[in-house]
Amino acid sequence: MVATHLAAARRSICAGFFGLGTFMGMWGVMIPERVASLGLSELTLGLFLLVIGLSLCAAIFCVNRFVIFQDAVQLIRVISAFYVLGFAVVLTTGSVMMLFLIGIVTGFAAGFVDAGLNSQASEWEQHSGRRGMSFFHALFSLGSLSGAALLTLMLSLDLPVKWVIYGSAVLVGGGLAMRRQWVGTQTIAGTAANADIDVGADNSGSP
């Protein structure tokens, strides 16, 4: 029972890392287009990247300081929608003001979801007794390559990328929101139950 749950949780964690990486890859490809279409100067682009970075750091601070932000599963299932939709708007908006405003939201969402996924990955390692963090982060890199390759192909064929971006946001955000199997109380309860059984078995032959 516990092994089955951990296997399902592993698939959820894999989907999360891959999905987050996909939008990072898309962002990398779209930077030149964003600069050109919005008329961003080097200074403005630098400020935008700084704003996202500060927002992400602020989210990590909130996770470490406030209990309300320490439910990893809720962070992933709920905040991932803000992450993917935020990136979709950032990649397609025609307004510099919207770029910055949504960029702040996206930065916070990225920090929350990243913290949630890494927490889940760490818990999975503890409960399964296996190493997996490197594999999970490799999936993030694979997602980045996939997202970059997809948009590069679309742009090279001179095809519109807007609906591909929003479609990907719906698939990733909706997919993570609907996933029910994560490392959590069921795994912990199952592990405790197995431990009780083992203890009982060890004590059954004692006087």
DSSP 8-state code for residue 13: H
- pLDDT, one tens digit per residue, over 105-131 is 999 999 999 999 999 999 999 999 999
> Does residue 193 lie within any of the structural domains?
no
pLDDT of 86 reads 96
From the list 141, 145, 148, the residue with the least C-alpha distance to 29 is: 148
> Does residue 32 lie within any of the structural domains?
yes
Residues with Cβ within 8 Å of residue 73, at least 6 apart in sequence: 116, 120, 182, 184
Query: How far is Cα 10 from Cα 4, in angstroms, rounded to an integer?
Result: 10
Query: How far is Cα 188 from Cα 23, in angstroms, rounded to an integer?
Result: 32
> Does residue 197 lie within any of the structural domains?
no
- pLDDT, one tens digit per residue, over 126-157 is 999 999 999 999 999 999 999 999 999 999 99
- pLDDT, one tens digit per residue, over 11-56 is 999 999 999 999 999 999 999 999 999 999 999 999 999 999 999 9
CATH of the domain at 173: 1.20.1250.20
Rounded to two decimals, what is the model's pTM?
Answer: 0.84
- pLDDT, one tens digit per residue, over 63-99 is 999 988 889 998 999 999 999 999 999 999 999 999 9
Query: How far is Cα 177 from Cα 124, in angstroms, rounded to an integer?
Result: 19
Which sign, positive or negative, has the C-alpha torsion 74, 125, 137, 153? negative
> Does residue 127 lie within any of the structural domains?
yes
Query: How far is Cα 160 from Cα 92, in angstroms, rounded to an integer?
Result: 11
Residue 3 pLDDT > 90, yes or no? no
Q: How many domains would you assign to the chain?
A: 1
> Does residue 194 lie within any of the structural domains?
no
From the list 135, 158, 177, the residue with the least C-alpha distance to 21 is: 135
